[in-house]
A = this chain, B = another copy of it.
Amino acid sequence: MSDSIQLQQRISDLLGPQGCLVAADQRQPYEKGARYGDGRSLCIARPANVEEAAELMRLCASEKIRIVAQGANTGLVGASSPDRSGLDVVLSMERIKGVIDIDPVDRVVQAYAGTRLSDLNQALRQHELCFPIDLAADPSLGGMLAANTGGARLIRYGDVRHNVLGLEALLIDPPGQRLDLTNRLRKNNTGPDWKQNFIGSGGAYGIITQAVLQVHPLPQQCATALVVPASLQAAASLLRDAERNFSDFLSAFEGISHNAMQSVLQHIPAIQAPFEPLPPYAFLIELSSARPRSADFDLEKIFGAWLEACFGDLILDAVIDKPEVLWRMRHAITDSVRQEGKVIAFDIAVPRSRLGAFRDEAIALLEHRYPGVRVFDFGHWGDGGLHFNLVLPQRLADDFPPQRIDALRQEIYDLAVHKYRGSFSAEHGVGPFNQQFYERYTVAESQALAARMQTVFDPARLLGVTRFGPAP
């Protein structure tokens, strides 16, 4: 019996046949990531509860088997995919799920890591509460914490980190040790906030098994408009004015480029053109409030009056429509653009006051150095986030071998990170896909710290496929 088969058998003995998938066709959905990541695992371990997960970790630690934690496998950087060795165990959290408790007075929910965002929100809805991290995907909570997801309503609610009150994690050293940080306090200054080390670090320091989240009153009214700014230079003034007027209830300030709009209209005939002709850029601005609409507080009325006041100076045109209509266009962009050709996706952030300047300079760089590449950008303008997605037309495929695409990517990142003090990964995390950029752009002092942190949390490097510290 080979070592691999023996190990598979031991894991199967531990977790039962349902808890250990060995057949290639059963493994495959767990081995391929949503955008990047495509490997081969020893097996897919699906523990039924936290104690089984801890047992699995003890077994893997004693055998020096690497563990790649996976939630809903919706991540975009390959951080939850095994490598090609066939030696990694994928630890799927999909069976460790469910809401443990909702306290509507505390506005707190405690749930297992495998719980999907949609299921969480369904449970919260009965209490007129929501976890307002708005994403195109339906991730698990553990993945959301590990990636520190952002989304379209960060301007109002912050990222995941801002809403985590507590968590439980399993450490790999000592193997399977449960670290109970599941408190529900909003104020608790009793030493270093250990949970922060598990948020946004992509599973490198432990495996998150439970989350305690601060949740928010469900909005009872909402006003949305698609707005054409006088110019992209005016966007900063528009944003500033919107925040002054609506800082309390501004819940989205999303940017959509002409090309992105056009792509949606072309590929999804059911969506009607909001403007004729399409403007160079538009913003989806949303106000929302948990306070129901009333004569003395009507967001649509307040919003309409503001838009009118901005006309001419800051705004050239605006369409006020139902949220579901306008968000439909926004959410359709990624899929539509994919039909235009080979996509080179970016997830950049710069300080939001410089987003327009960055975009101009990045487009000029492309025109000069990579003519023919088309820009279909959109993003979270209010937070400085830009999905500066490019499309390589089919006719240019031969001119763009992989090395040239890599060079293009690096030139855009150099511009964002070095000149604009921006980020090469605003929302998606590091993972194997961004590993080389982490090494290029992270200051040496932070990487040195990461190397030392590795010895605290995972000296044998058994957790995950991302490497924050230099190899030993």
Which residues of A line the B interface, CB within 8 A?
103-108, 128, 147-148, 150, 154, 158-159, 161-162, 171, 177-181, 183-194, 196-197, 199-202, 204-205, 216-217, 236-237, 239-240, 243-249, 289-291, 296-298, 301-302, 305, 349-353, 380, 383-385, 421-430, 434, 438, 441-443, 445-446, 449-450, 452-453, 455-456, 468
Contacts and interface: CB of A to CB of B under 8 A. Distances in A.
Nearest to A216: B247
Contacts of A429: 189-190
Contact of A190 (B159, B191, B423): B423
Q: Which 6 A-B pairs have the closest CB atoms?
A: A196-B196, A105-B353, A187-B426, A248-B248, A188-B423, A247-B290
Contacts of A205: 192
A450 B128 CA distance: 39
A382 B194 CA distance: 24
A194 B446 contact: yes
Contacts of A248: 248-249, 289-291
A421 B186 contact: no
Contacts of A197: 192, 196-197
Residue from A162, A194, A205, A429 whose CB has the most chain B CB atoms within 10 Å: A194
Nearest to A161: B193
Given A191-B430, A247-B291, A452-B456, 11 more contacts: A103-B353, A106-B353, A148-B189, A184-B421, A187-B380, A187-B385, A187-B426, A192-B204, A192-B468, A197-B197, A216-B247
Given A239-B105, A302-B297, A421-B184, A201 B191 contact: yes
A236 B425 CA distance: 41
Contacts of A194: 446, 449
Q: Within the oligomer, what is the number of copies of this chain?
A: 2
Contacts of A247: 216-217, 289-291
Contact of A441 (B147, B171, B190): B190
A190 B430 contact: yes
A193 B200 contact: yes
B445 A178 contact: yes
A245 B217 CA distance: 9
B187 A154 contact: yes
A193 B430 CA distance: 12
B187 A423 contact: yes
A180 B445 contact: yes
A162 B187 CA distance: 12
Contacts of A297: 296-297, 302
Contacts of A422: 185
12 contacts: A103-B353, A105-B236, A179-B446, A189-B429, A190-B429, A190-B438, A191-B446, A192-B200, A192-B204, A196-B197, A217-B243, A243-B290
A186 B383 contact: yes
A70 B180 CA distance: 32
Nearest to A186: B383
A423 B298 CA distance: 40
Contacts of A446: 179, 181, 191, 194
B179 A449 contact: yes
B351 A185 contact: yes
Given A189-B425, A430-B191, A106 B352 contact: yes
Contacts of A442: 190-191
A273 to B, nearest CB: 30
Given A248-B249, A290-B247, A187 B199 contact: no
B196 A193 contact: yes
